Amino acid sequence: MTEKVPHVSGIFRRRFGDLLLFGVTSGELAILIFLTPTFSIVDWIYVIQHVLVLAIAVTRRPPEVYNHSFSSSVAVVVAYAYPYAQVVYLRWVPGDPAWPAAGFVLVSFAACLSLASLLSLGRRFGVFPALRGLVTRGPYRFVRHPMYLAYVIADIGYNLQEWNFGTALLVLAGWASLLSRIRAEERILSQDARWSAYAASVRCRLLPGLW
């Protein structure tokens, strides 16, 4: 369900969306701190990202178009929940290491890519699919959804460090939600006049050279 933001209710919807983003990010930050016994450089990068998002939540521009449909809501909930579900599940059912050194490299790269994507998005970042302007700089010059690519790389990295059948299933559910979010976001972004030229220039949505 794609809707234009009515002028009368725009302020209310902006406040609700900003409050939601602030609340979700605050919760994520609290969970991150609670679940991390000792902080590595990667953990600090994610802390910086969460602080940036908190600032974005109180300064970002209102959307021109938004999508709060049930399917988008489910995809958002799954996308935000599955990384933490893996951590909780591993405490319940310990996993096995596959290739920890390679996993650390991938997780570190993913953290840097995620931060670069967030800095490129700036005040255009949001939870639900919405049109706040088209970003074509930074990592967005190479793929159309670099932040989601960072999530995929991080998932692979974390599972190389420790995994089991349950975490693999959670990752697949998370990736399905990311694909759903990509399709929903591109339907919104296609309403921007520059989208066609951008999509023709940057052909890959998520995986460079593949899709």
Whether residue 98 is predicted with pLDDT greater than 70 in this model: the reply is yes
Structural domain contains residue 24? yes
pLDDT at site 34: 86
What is the distance between the alpha carbons of residues 171 and 85, in angstroms, rounded to a whole number?
A: 10
Name the β-bridge partners of 28: none
Q: What is the mean pLDDT of residues 91-102?
A: 96
Whether residue 18 is predicted with pLDDT greater than 60 in this model: the reply is yes
pLDDT-based confidence at 9, cuts 50/70/90?
A: very low
pLDDT at site 14: 57
Question: Which tens digit of pLDDT belongs to each residue from 162-205?
Answer: 999 999 999 999 999 999 999 999 999 999 999 999 999 999 99
pLDDT at site 6: 47
Q: What is the mean pLDDT of residues 59-74?
A: 88
82, 144 Cβ separation under 8 angstroms: no
Whether residue 71 is predicted with pLDDT greater than 80 in this model: the reply is yes
> Among 26, 24, 9, 21, which residue's Cα sits nearest to residue 58?
21
pLDDT-based confidence at 157, cuts 50/70/90?
A: very high
Whether residue 54 is predicted with pLDDT greater than 70 in this model: the reply is yes
**Position with higher pLDDT, 14 vs 47:** 47
Domain count, the chain: 1
**Residue 155: half-sphere exposure toward Cβ, Cα within 13 Å:** 25
Structural domain contains residue 208? no
Question: What angle, rounded to 10 degrees, do the helices at 70-92 and 10-35 form?
Answer: 10
């970042």: which residue's tokens? 125
Structural domain contains residue 211? no
CA 18 to chain centroid, in Å, comes to 16
The CATH number of the domain holding residue 127 is 1.20.120.1630
Structural domain contains residue 77? yes
Full 3-state SS string of the chain:
CEEECCCCCHHHHHHHHHHHHHHHHHHHHHHHHHHCCCCCHHHHHHHHHHHHHHHHHCCCCCCCEEECCHHHHHHHHHHHHHHHHHHHHHHHCCCECCCHHHHHHHHHHHHHHHHHHHHHHHHHCCCCCEECCCCCCHHHHCCCCHHHHHHHHHHHHHHHHCECHHHHHHHHHHHHHHHHHHHHHHHHHCCCCCHHHHHHHCCCCCCCCCC
Structural domain contains residue 207? no
Burial of 28 (0-12, 13-18, 19+ CB in 10 A): middle
**Position with higher pLDDT, 176 vs 8:** 176
Structural domain contains residue 210? no
**Containing structural domain, residue 163:** 2-201
pLDDT at site 38: 83
Q: Is the pTM of this model over 0.85?
A: yes
pLDDT at site 166: 97
pLDDT at site 7: 44
Whether residue 113 is predicted with pLDDT greater than 70 in this model: the reply is yes
